């Protein structure tokens, strides 16, 4: 288990036109726990403190306050030599790959093992083993300049894994790759996580990455964790506005373009007004029976205006926008709110049957 206990990081930054330095809080009281063997995502706007946070885990950045534990060992209390040894059990991959240009792929993967003074034979065995795992056996003699981005990142991953780390840190590792290569690198990370039981902490701007491979996710905003939990929960019921904003694209919480011209008011104009309702559901709650249910129970008419279905890992989730008219709309909404789905009144359409789209 990885545990951060009230971690803060303050940078001293110079102020323009002044000789004095000011404190800048890059992280404030960050506490979190990460289960061994899980894939943990960190999201947040640019400058939120994501890289600083991940660098505090392996102490590339030393926290100003707070403690970092990895499997019970307090990293923040280790002396230099012990810290160096502990860090060898933490692999890291980067957006820019950070490969050594004057070494072949083999030489890059072998590098951390040479530092550990492995024998030549052991190094050769391990490099071939790990190269097979990441699928670059035929590239071992090539130099980084002769490789594609995806191949370079596979070398980066192989190098990070060479020394059999318990933890892999990934800072925007797929940001420089095209969507298809991103997908193959992610599949590889997930595969490694499954096969080796390795814990992965990853930062990404791509919410689809989180949706596809992470178990849990933390949302950082101005150096603070504002929301944290299982991906399914955060993605289907985000609470904080920054989370909603970050997820707007994957959640498609905005009205679809086809409804852009739809005129509705936030305030209920008259009692006859139709209600525009957005229903979000996930897991086993299927939309169809619910709709026929409220039609039957409350005598309302339901007009489906838009519907989307997606998956977080293997769990389906979706959003539908409906227009309710007639019947007992209030009771129907109450009923929906009681179910395991989120119902949100988006607005009201002044006169029944007024909708054109």
Site residues (vs Mg ion, CB under 5 A): 51
Question: In the complex with ligand ATP, which residue's Cβ is closer, 108 or 182?
Answer: 182
Q: Which of residues 29-88 bind ligand ATP (CB under 6 A)?
A: 44, 46-52
Q: Smallest gap, in angstroms, from Cβ of residue 95 to ligand ATP?
A: 9
Q: Where are the beta strands (DSSP E) in the chain?
A: 2-14, 21-34, 39-44, 65-70, 73-74, 90-94, 167-171, 199-203, 216-221, 224-230, 274-282, 301-312, 315-325, 341-349
Question: In the complex with ligand ATP, which residue's Cβ is closer, 30 or 333?
Answer: 30
Give the CA distances from residue 349 to residues 106, 112, 273, 277, 292, in Å, rounded to whole numbers and listed in that order: 65, 65, 6, 11, 22
Q: How many residues bind ligand ATP (CB under 6 A)?
A: 12
Which does residue 115 bind out of Mg ion, ligand ATP, none, counting CB within 5 to 8 angstroms by kind?
Answer: none
Question: In the complex with ligand ATP, which residue's Cβ is closer, 43 or 277?
Answer: 43
Q: Smallest gap, in angstroms, from Cβ of residue 24 to ligand ATP?
A: 5
Question: In the complex with ligand ATP, which residue's Cβ is closer, 11 or 335?
Answer: 11
Question: In the complex with ligand ATP, which residue's Cβ is closer, 60 or 250?
Answer: 60
Contact 52, 215 (CB under 8 A): no
Q: Smallest gap, in angstroms, from Cβ of residue 92 to ligand ATP?
A: 14
Q: How far apart are CA 133 and CA 130, in angstroms?
A: 5
DSSP 172: S
Q: Which of 3, 10, 11, 229 binds ligand ATP (CB under 6 A)?
A: 11
Q: Smallest gap, in angstroms, from Cβ of residue 102 to Mg ion?
A: 27
Q: Which of residues 302-321 bind ligand ATP (CB under 6 A)?
A: none
Q: Smallest gap, in angstroms, from Cβ of residue 327 to ligand ATP?
A: 49
Q: Which of 1, 13, 132, 304 binds ligand ATP (CB under 6 A)?
A: 13
- If one asks whether residue 24 binds ligand ATP (CB under 6 A), the answer comes out as yes
Q: Smallest gap, in angstroms, from Cβ of residue 43 to ligand ATP?
A: 9
Q: How far apart are CA 221 and CA 231, in angstroms?
A: 17
Phi, psi of 249 (to 5 degrees): -70, -50
Which does residue 48 bind out of Mg ion, ligand ATP, none, counting CB within 5 to 8 angstroms by kind?
Answer: ligand ATP
Q: Smallest gap, in angstroms, from Cβ of residue 49 to ligand ATP?
A: 4
Residues in the chain: 357
Which does residue 52 bind out of ligand ATP, Mg ion, none, counting CB within 5 to 8 angstroms by kind?
Answer: ligand ATP
Question: In the complex with ligand ATP, which residue's Cβ is closer, 62 or 311?
Answer: 62
Q: Smallest gap, in angstroms, from Cβ of residue 210 to Mg ion?
A: 15
Which does residue 46 bind out of ligand ATP, Mg ion, none, counting CB within 5 to 8 angstroms by kind?
Answer: ligand ATP
Q: How far apart are CA 4 and CA 21, in angstroms?
A: 28
Q: Smallest gap, in angstroms, from Cβ of residue 42 to ligand ATP?
A: 8
**Please, how many CA atoms are within 13 Å of residue 197, restricted to the half-sphere of its CB?**
2
Give the CA distances from residue 85 to residues 81, 116, 234, in Å, rounded to whole numbers and listed in that order: 6, 10, 36
Residue among 25, 94, 24 at smallest CA distance from 60: 94
Question: In the complex with ligand ATP, which residue's Cβ is closer, 24 or 357?
Answer: 24
Task: Name the β-bridge partners of 41.
Answer: 202, 217
Which does residue 304 bind out of Mg ion, ligand ATP, none, counting CB within 5 to 8 angstroms by kind?
Answer: none
Token pair of 94, please? 């980067």
Q: Give DSSP secondary structure letters for 180-191.
A: HHHHHHHHHHHH
Question: In the complex with Mg ion, which residue's Cβ is closer, 51 or 199?
Answer: 51
Q: How far apart are CA 161 and CA 55, in angstroms?
A: 18
In this structure, the dihedral spanned by the alpha carbons of residues 307, 310, 316 and 322, taken in order and rounded to 10 degrees, is -10
- Interacting residue ranges for ligand ATP, rule: CB under 6 A: 11, 13, 24, 26, 44, 46-52
């Amino acid at each position: 288990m990885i545990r951060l206990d009230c971690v803060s990081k303050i940078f001293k930054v110079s102020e323009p036109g002044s000789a004095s330095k000011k404190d800048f809080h890059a992280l404030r009281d960050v506490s979190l726990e990460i289960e061994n063997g899980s894939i943990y995502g960190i999201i947040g706007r640019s400058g939120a403190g994501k890289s600083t946070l991940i660098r505090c885990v392996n102490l590339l950045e030393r926290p100003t306050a707070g403690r970092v534990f990895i499997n019970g060992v307090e990293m923040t209390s280790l002396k230099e030599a012990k810290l160096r040894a502990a860090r060898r059990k933490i692999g890291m991959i980067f957006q820019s790959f950070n490969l050594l240009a004057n070494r072949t792929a083999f030489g890059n993967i072998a590098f951390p093992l040479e530092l550990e003074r492995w024998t030549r034979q052991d190094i050769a065995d391990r490099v071939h083993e790990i190269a097979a795992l990441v699928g670059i056996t035929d590239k071992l003699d090539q130099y980084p300049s002769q490789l594609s981005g995806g191949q370079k990142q596979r070398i980066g991953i192989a190098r990070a894994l060479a020394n059999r780390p318990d933890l892999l840190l990934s800072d925007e590792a797929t940001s420089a790759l095209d969507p298809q290569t991103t997908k193959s690198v992610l599949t590889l990370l997930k595969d490694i996580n499954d096969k080796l039981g390795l814990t992965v902490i990853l930062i990404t701007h791509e919410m689809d990455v989180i949706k596809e491979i992470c178990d849990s996710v933390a949302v950082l905003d101005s150096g603070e964790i504002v929301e944290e939990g299982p991906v399914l929960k955060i993605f289907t019921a985000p609470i904080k506005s920054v989370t909603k904003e970050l997820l707007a694209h994957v959640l498609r919480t905005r009205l679809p373009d086809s409804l852009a011209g739809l005129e509705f008011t936030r305030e209920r104009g008259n009692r006859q007004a139709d209600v525009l309702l957005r229903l979000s559901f996930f897991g086993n709650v299927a939309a169809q029976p619910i709709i026929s249910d409220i039609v039957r129970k409350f005598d309302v008419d339901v007009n489906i205006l838009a519907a989307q279905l997606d998956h977080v890992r293997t769990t389906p989730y979706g959003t539908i926008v409906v227009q309710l008219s007639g019947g007992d709309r209030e009771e129907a909404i109450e009923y929906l709110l009681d179910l395991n789905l989120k119902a949100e009144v988006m607005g009201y359409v002044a006169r029944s049957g007024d909708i054109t789209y």
